[in-house]
A = this chain, B = another copy of it.
Amino acid sequence: MPFNYSAVDVGLRVVLFAAAVIAVVVMATSKQTEMVPVPGLPTSVRVPYSAEFTDSPAFVYFMAALSTTGLYSIITALASTLLGRKPSYTNTIWLAFALMDVVFVGIVASATGAAGGVAYIGLRGNSHVRWDKICNVYNEFCRHVGTAIAFSLFAAILLVFLTMFSTFALYKKIR
């Protein structure tokens, strides 16, 4: 039995869809409200204050990028399933997948980087510019953000493999 490139491709795309959806859902449910002191008033005076992903443009970009990737992955998984059976089309499909996948590598990797860069400041702060860490207060928010970034990193690596896989499938067609 020859190696079934199409079946592996569909499988990887379904895993990519799952990773993107998990990242989006975990980030969307990250809102946390805590009682925090008000600057200029005694520390005993505390008001409820929320942290959510819409507070940071980097996290909003992350959500847009991962949502688009989820949609893309399910569309290409369906296309791969439906068109993979027609041998006459397969070269064009592998080319199209390789060309589109590499664009999504860029989108997901940049989203992971942007969210990761901002989340790291939230975790550790930056004393040089007096940006205080917030994860000591908003621990649940930070746990959600960290989990979403981990799944997004996994999705980016999976997209790299998918691009390599399509390229290799094309390479094997050369006689």
Contact = CB atoms under 8 A, between A and B. Distances in A.
A175 interface: yes
The copy count of this chain in the complex is 2
Specify the main secondary structure of chain A where it touches its partner.
Answer: helix
Nearest to A170: B170
A50 B165 CA distance: 47
A168 interface: yes
A26 interface: no
Interface in A93-138: 95, 98-99, 102-103, 105-107, 109-118, 120-122, 126, 128-132, 134
A114 B157 CA distance: 17
Interface of A: 39, 51, 55-58, 91, 95, 98-99, 102-103, 105-107, 109-118, 120-122, 126, 128-132, 134, 156-157, 160, 163-164, 166-168, 170-171, 173-175
9 contacts: A51-B129, A55-B126, A58-B113, A98-B98, A113-B117, A115-B117, A116-B117, A122-B129, A130-B132
